[in-house]
Chain A
Amino acid sequence: MENKRASALFTFVALSILAFVFLIPIGLVVMNSFKSRLYISSQPFAFPSSETFAGFGNYINGLTSSGFAAAFGRSVFITVFSVLLIVVCASMTAWYIVRANSAVTKLLYYLFVFSMIVPFQMVMYTMTYVVNKLNFDNLIGIVFVYLGFGSGLSVFMFSGFVKSIPLEIEEAATIDGCSPLQTFFRIVFPVLKPTAITVSILNAMWIWNDYLLPYLVLGTDDKTVPVAIQIAMQGAYGATDYGGFMAMLVLAIIPIVIFYAVSQKYIIKGVIAGAVKG
């Protein structure tokens, strides 16, 4: 017994140290975001002193100088509307595919599943061309592009769930005079809620953090948060404002931390479900 308690204590201490090590990278960025820019690359591990402390100056610079605030707004817009569109459209499509169960819908299903294994580099050049030709290279267009890329995994996950819903309830609704649209939104969609949450989380994490797709589709004028960060670092070589840059990194992480703190349970469940099915 004594032995067991000692080993539990040892594990606890070891995990505490490891947890601290895990937080160092983020802590380092937060710490440096409060130092004036000249002291960041020269002494990254020094705590801010009265001489090097910059208050919120870096945050003001980071938000104003490079259009980061606008980028933030764009990222929110694209993420929210893409996720909404994906959840509604992909669940409808998945339900239709399962219930119609014809040769055409089976083929469609396999096409969606196939798209999941294709790496982005395979289609990035031609996709950019098609999107530009169709004038989809704007904030509204990119939401539609995300529907196209997100539909593979989302249709796949919704289909898996729809298959497990008994048909009787839907048949009863049809007999009562419900159209397929009414049946879907009044009866099926509420049942799909757990999968809808999982699909939302997986897509939100992907779209919020995505760099290459918005960079290729929207370019550098309409930059999102990851694009703004990449440009701030690579765009003006030698003249990078490290202070503002650190503040940008912190600002990019904050929404993720809040999102995580609020819905941690769902996120971990969703990620496991996504991994097991994908």
Chain B
Amino acid sequence: MRKSLSRYFPVFVLPTLAAFTIAFAVPFVMGIYLSFTKFTTITNAQWVGIDNYVKAFTYDGDFVHALWFTALFTVVSVVTVNVFAFILALLLTRGIRGTNFFRSVFFMPNLIGGIVLGYIWNLLINGVLSYSGTDLTYKAEYGFWGLVLLTNWQLIGYMMVIYIAGLQNIPDSLSEAASIDGASPFKTLIRIKIPMVMASITICTFLTLTNSFKMFDQNLALTAGLPEKETEMLALNIYNTFYGRSGWQGIGQAKAVMFFIIVAAIAFIQLKITKSREVEQ
């Protein structure tokens, strides 16, 4: 079977592999190499060692600022999205009327793309702020909380759906046994429901973490980094370094490599945690 199968490698694998090589593998390797060079058109790349990596931090404070801004935004988003999503999931697993309708409404924003989302909230927030004679670009705090609001609106329904699936997997006998033993609803929540949905909590934390950390479209459409790059997140900072200044492409690529390493580290830690949980259960 195996031998005859290998003759079919070109049919089954080659189209995917060719596309993967062109779109991902070759650009990835080139990207690593170019992060150690100075270039404007790739063909004129000159080796400069770790110069780009040093310059990313020292030349101006934008990258470090974007890093902190993104980290803070990510922490706030992960906490708010997951708390609200979990509360909604608890309310929607109690068998009340209209559960399906509510679930549909809360989930829908997740399907709308980042650019459209950004402009919808741009209209809404600027409309509210116009009463005080300001707008989103007036203060960095406005942009920050605007992004948090938008992210909550987008991701709560998505996480809620995952939590609902987790809560529905808890056997009824467990909650029944707890209530017969006289446990209060709060105690049932802390001692039974939360431990039983730990897997969902890990997944949702990871999804909100990576989604918030890698955010680009929403950032571009809502604030575009204004005022003065103060609301510029990492992905947008990398983009602006590449396409905003000629001669800075190498530094942009170095920033992109560091961005990749951080995201990979988050994914790796997540994988470790999930694995250790699986052993426990």
Contact = CB atoms under 8 A, between A and B. Distances in A.
Interface stretch (B72-80, B173-181, B250-258): B250-258
A18 B161 CA distance: 16
Contact of B108 (A130, A211, A234, A260): A260
B42 to A, nearest CB: 5
Interface in A113-166: 115, 117-127, 129-131, 134, 136, 144-149, 151-152, 155
Interface residues of B, number: 85
A22 B152 CA distance: 10
- Interface size range on A against B: 35 or more
A152 B28 CA distance: 14
Interface string B51-88: 00000000000000000000000000000000000001
Contacts of A110: none
Main DSSP-derived SS at the B contact region: helix
A226 interface: yes
A276 B200 CA distance: 8
Contacts of A180: 4-5, 8, 12
A32 interface: yes
A28 B220 CA distance: 21
Interface stretch (B109-117, B137-145, B190-198): B109-117
Contacts of A6: none
Given A26-B120, A108-B13, A115-B28, 8 more contacts: A24-B124, A93-B17, A102-B2, A119-B235, A127-B24, A148-B19, A211-B115, A264-B104
25 contacts: A22-B105, A28-B127, A29-B120, A32-B123, A44-B127, A93-B12, A95-B12, A96-B8, A111-B25, A115-B28, A119-B214, A125-B253, A145-B23, A146-B23, A151-B20, A152-B24, A174-B1, A181-B11, A205-B111, A209-B115, A226-B114, A226-B115, A230-B115, A267-B111, A275-B207
Interface of A: 8, 11-12, 14-16, 18-19, 22-26, 28-29, 32, 40-42, 44-45, 89-90, 92-93, 95-97, 99-102, 105, 108, 111-112, 115, 117-127, 129-131, 134, 136, 144-149, 151-152, 155, 171, 174, 179-181, 184, 205, 208-212, 226, 229-230, 233-234, 245-246, 249, 252-253, 256-257, 259-260, 264, 267-268, 271-272, 275-276
